[in-house]
Amino acid sequence: MALPRFPVSGGCSCGQVRYTLSAPPLTVYNCHCKDCQRASGSSWGMPVVVPDASFSVTGEVVTYRRTADSGNVIAMNFCSTCYSWLWNDPQSPGFRIVRAGTLDDISWAKPVGNIWTDSAASWAPIDPTLVNFPKGPPGREPLIQAWARANEV
């Protein structure tokens, strides 16, 4: 599927927090870490990695900082009213990690890989033709390159 025309929008369950992505993401992938499993209520989450400059938000959020499975401290941002988990601010500057399920339309956000596959449920579909990592990747570059190839960006 082709990428949509940007900007695209998303938000929380109650509508108090809205965000806009003014440019295409750097990558989209599936994450099978325990944090994403807990937050999604499923076997994986679907991060959409976007440059800081393309992300704008309205509404009040609360931030919870914790040490992730990787050992990195992440800032998890939630709606202050309905507590929908909307995005992470990772330790590395320059981008944000939006939760795909909070986009108004996720039909275009096809993942190009999987991370933390060692933590995946035994029944989780891991496509061996994608870029896959048993733990966190050493960097996002392989996932960014896979996204660029898949979407001709």
Terminal Cα distance for the chain, rounded: 13
pLDDT at 69 over 80: no
Mean per-residue pLDDT, 102-130: 95
Mean per-residue pLDDT, 114-123: 95
| 1 confidence band (pLDDT: 50, 70, 90) | low
In angstroms, how far is CA 13 from the centroid of its own chain? 17
pLDDT tens digits for range 30-63: 999 988 888 788 889 999 999 999 999 999 999 9
The domain spans of the chain are: 8-143
More confident residue, 97 or 38: 97
More confident residue, 41 or 153: 41
Helix (H, G, I), strand (E, B) or coil at 57: strand
Mean per-residue pLDDT, 146-152: 92
Cis check: omega of the bond before 51, within 30 degrees of 0: no
38 forms beta bridges with none
pTM of the model: 0.91
Mean pLDDT of the chain: 93
**3.30.750.24, 3.60.10.10, 3.90.1150.200, 3.90.1590.10: which CATH number matches 8-143?**
3.90.1590.10
Q: Retrieve residue 66's tokens.
A: 């914790």
Mean per-residue pLDDT, 88-113: 92
